[in-house]
Structure 1
Amino acid sequence: MARSKRALRGIYAAATALAIFVVAVGSCIALILLVISMEEGGASLSDQSLSVTQAVVLLSQGNGFSAGALKLTIIPLGLTLVLVSLLVTCVRRFGMSWEGFASGGLLWLIVSFLFQQIQGFILVDTTFIIACRSALVYCLAYAIAGVRSGKFSKWLASSPYGSLPSGLRLAITQGVHVAVWLIAIFVLMGALTVVVWIALYHDAVGKLFVLSEMGTSSRILTSLAAIVWLPNLIIWALSWLTGGGFYIGELASFTLWTGQGEALPPIPIFGLFPEAVTSSVQRIILLVLPTIVTGIVALLTLLTKRGFDMLASLRKQGLRQIDTRLVTTFLYSCISLVITGLIVLLALGLAFFCSNGDLGEHRLKGVGVHVTESAAVFARDISVGLLAPWLMLLLVSALVLLWNSTIDSLHRSVTLVSAVPASLNSYESSDKSQTRISGTDTSSQPSHTVQTVNKTSHSDAPGQSSGQ
């Protein structure tokens, strides 16, 4: 009975999340199609609302589609984040269990299969691939809900992780926390870059709206609909900021050095893409900005009390000699920074991969970031930013240790040198006393002999006189 209740709660969680998401997306799509039909004055597009909703729901889980010359596989990461957040909230609200996970996942796959029965669109992937991607989204949301629950902390404490040394656990925890902070800062940097693009190139977007002959309501709704791809644009902006850039198929490439494209389709969002940065000083500042930010975060982690508080540890240790405490302090901090770098690179590489896709079959195939190039650029920036403060602190500590060792050696030498005259004086005084004692013994021996002889002569004298 208890298992059936837990299974029903899993079904309720999945059904609630899907219902809220599908209704919200369907309502927005119906409104957009209705406004476009009214302004264009053509045939009503509201009849396509259901099919478009099915396609968008599948697209938000990574499953692309094609319609005529259009092939869309760029995942609207904004919708994906909304779907995952809804499912996490519902799972935490109805409770977590293995029975609920299985029953909710089964319902999720069934709904995904039903949404594949779509009219007017051709799905790019097979049924099995679509099911795998939908299941991956569901498992991701359930895993996030599990991490945010109190059971995860108890399970972690009872796992082999809880038996690790406290310093190593602190290193792992600090590494994860710093990685989350760095990812948040990088996302903020990308968002600010997009805001700057909007401020600089909003006129180009307006011209594209005019060329497309779109009405005011259609412009507003189209701009609002483009928000679902805002996370993709932030990721591309972050790649552009570090020198990696991004590409619109074979038609255009946008980096800090180039910003031109040929025959781009009149899609309003394309008007936001930047031109090349002409100033070499500005280019250098933008290129070193991620390294500087990473270095500041790493330095604060090493020195502040919320991190490793290495200044207090080094003062307590005294830096007089190399001992186990000093070695473990630097070792655990290095392990923490390495963990931070690996998590950040993995997260950014996954983000670059998920933000890419296609807008067509030929020249618009391959829109987004070159994952290997951008990941290599970020690997360089993050590794330098994380290890430079650690190496600098290690060098300073080594210099202080060398200085203290030199001062201690000098003190010992001065003490030894000052102790030599005192030892010589004590040796001379002892030698004189020994000489004095030996002289006294020598002078006393003859007198003793004379007295002995006298006594002998006196004792022999009466005998002689009596014999006479």
Structure 2
Amino acid sequence: MTSHSPSSPVRRGVPMPLWLQGLFELGSVAVLSWLLVLLTVLMVWLADGFDDLGLPGGFALSGQVWLLAHLVPLQVSLEPGAGLPATTGALTLVPLGLTLVPFALAWAAGRRLARACWEGQFWQPYLTGLAGYAGLGAGAALLFRTEEVSAAPWAGALFPLVPVALGAFVGAFRASRSLPGLIGVNAAAWVERTSQYSRWAGSYVWAVLRAGFLAAVAGVGIGGAVLAAALLWNWNDVVTVYQRLGTGAPGDTALTALQLGYLPNLVVWAFAWATGAGFDLGAGTHVSPLGTEPGPVPLLPVLAALPPEQLPAWALTVVVLPLLAGVLAGWWFVREGENHLDDWMAIRLPARWLTYPLSALLTGAFTGLVAGVLTMALSWIAQGSLGLGRLVQVGPDGLQVLLLFGAEVALGAAVGCALGPWLEREPPAAPLRPGAPAQAGRSAAGAEPAGPVAPEDSAAVPSPER
């Protein structure tokens, strides 16, 4: 992001005002993401995949899929037919694979907007662009509604802002590499004016947040590995379901596109299964390492990879994988973070045999809490309702994921923090004795303490604010 000073020249090469550029950039995200959905629907329609839908119906379907991909809940109302009663419900199971499309486009748009702004001006195109996006979402809810499927205009205006606002902001931050350049507030300068212990606390919290994020990413990777292994193991069953459906090339194409749209959801479900929490596939059907509760499931090829009703006892060893994610996070914390909690405890209490394992346990607990909250939010996004019959509860329980994965990561991170210094061949030294030189002490991560380490330093380092 361009730095700003009172004597800076007027921007060159910007053909439009910032607020208008924000409308154009984020408006392009809405149009391009819808055109991609429309193109897919038209390809299936041209291949006779929607015999009874027609071109106007395909046009409306593309808009409804666009809204659902933007987290907008759809109200479904089906007439009775084929021996089935009338059905009314809410469709809230979001295809996260399609949600990544506007997120990625907004990421690129945010980068372009950041490059076009002076320091502190990003809010102008950002907010005006989001306001325009909300208007387009409300218009889409009105334009693409049918007698069977509809969305509230207020939901069409608000829910699409979640992936677009997040994507644009992250993209702008990656382009500018400066949070003060985006928000116009220099937080680092404010931190420099605080006490030494306050700076320690801020550095420690930031390191814990990054370690928890790493554990959550590792957990999602575990889910992807589990899903891939299940599909490879049950590949013959998946192909058999395709053959039983007999939908031909157009139907198979539509089914595959549908499953690819829900692929991130399936990864999160597999991750929840690996934690022990499991997931639901409708009322009365629960899948976990303890076994699968029987019940009818949708006839989708990918669901042929579900585990059987009875699993061997060794299947519970899958919960070791989340523990390893915690160990990885703890080890990373020792390598890259600053364990100022351990530094502070070593200064206050010279009993190193107590402070070192206690700081490792507390750091592990904090890391597990962060990882659990992140994966709980991801589980909530990946679950929902299909609004039809029993399928009103599909996906994992976010609270169970928080409790189980958080506990697993906490235990693993504590082990990683405790063993990390020895893995780095820099075991933690004993705490400083009064009067010892500052260079004699090292933190649990093997780094020099960055703050007050001995009484002699009290004149050079400001004491913490009370």
Q: TM-score, normalised by structure 1?
A: 0.72
Task: Map 1:27-426 onto structure 2 (within 5 A).
Answer: 27-37=39-49, 42-43=51-52, 45-65=54-74, 66=76, 68=78, 69=87, 72-95=91-114, 97-117=122-142, 118-120=144-146, 122=148, 126-148=152-174, 149-152=176-179, 155-160=186-191, 163=194, 165=196, 166-276=199-309, 278-283=311-316, 285-302=317-334, 304=335, 306-308=336-338, 337-390=364-417
Q: Whole-Å Cα distance in 2 between the matches of residues 321 and 54 of structure 1? A: 62
* Aligned AA (1:87): A
Q: Secondary structure at the match of 1:247?
A: strand
Per the alignment, do residues 171 and 164 of structure 1 end up closer, same or farther by CA in structure 2, a change over 3 Å counting?
A: farther
Question: Tell me, which stretches of 5 or more residues in structure 1 are unaligned?
Answer: 405-468
- Residues 29-75 of structure 1 deviation map (CA, whole Å, 9 limit, x = unaligned): 211232243xx8x4464432210111011101111222524853201
**Identity, % of aligned pairs?**
16
Cα pair 2:91 2:386 within 8 Å, conserved:
yes
Q: Which moved more, 1:340-349 or 1:234-243?
A: 340-349
Cα pair 2:141 2:152 within 8 Å, conserved:
no
Per the alignment, do residues 299 and 398 of structure 1 end up closer, same or farther by CA in structure 2, a change over 3 Å counting?
A: closer
Q: Whole-Å Cα distance in 1 between the matches of residues 276 and 248 of structure 2? A: 37
- Residues 107-129 of structure 1 deviation map (CA, whole Å, 9 limit, x = unaligned): 10111111112243555653323
Pairwise CA distance, 1:146: 4.3
Q: Whole-Å Cα distance in 2 between the matches of residues 321 and 172 of structure 1? A: 19
Q: Secondary structure at the match of 2:234?
A: helix
User: Paired residues, what number?
Assistant: 390
Pairwise CA distance, 1:345: 1.6
Pairwise CA distance, 1:400: 8.6
Q: Secondary structure at the match of 2:280?
A: strand
* Equivalent position of 2:459 in the other structure: none
- Residues 356-383 of structure 1 deviation map (CA, whole Å, 9 limit, x = unaligned): 1112344111111122222211122122
Per the alignment, do residues 161 and 113 of structure 1 end up closer, same or farther by CA in structure 2, a change over 3 Å counting?
A: farther
Q: Secondary structure at the match of 1:261?
A: coil
* Equivalent position of 2:452 in the other structure: none
Per the alignment, do residues 251 and 32 of structure 1 end up closer, same or farther by CA in structure 2, a change over 3 Å counting?
A: farther
Q: Which moved more, 1:192-201 or 1:130-139?
A: 130-139
* Aligned AA (2:111): R
Cα pair 2:77 2:148 within 8 Å, conserved:
yes
Relative to total residues, which structure has the larger helix share, 1 or 2? 1
Q: Whole-Å Cα distance in 2 between the matches of residues 321 and 368 of structure 1? A: 47
* Equivalent position of 1:412 in the other structure: none
Pairwise CA distance, 1:276: 4.6
Q: Whole-Å Cα distance in 1 between the matches of residues 419 and 110 of structure 2? A: 47
Q: Whole-Å Cα distance in 1 between the matches of residues 301 and 311 of structure 2? A: 24
Larger radius of gyration: 1
Per the alignment, do residues 61 and 349 of structure 1 end up closer, same or farther by CA in structure 2, a change over 3 Å counting?
A: same
Q: Whole-Å Cα distance in 2 between the matches of residues 336 and 153 of structure 1? A: 29
Q: TM-score, normalised by structure 2?
A: 0.72
* Aligned AA (1:115): A
Q: Secondary structure at the match of 2:160?
A: helix
Alignment RMSD, CA only? 3.8
Q: Which moved more, 1:325-334 or 1:231-240?
A: 325-334
Pairwise CA distance, 1:19: 2.1
Pairwise CA distance, 1:273: 2.1
- Residues 206-243 of structure 1 deviation map (CA, whole Å, 9 limit, x = unaligned): 23223322113431442133111111101100111111
* Equivalent position of 1:23 in the other structure: 35
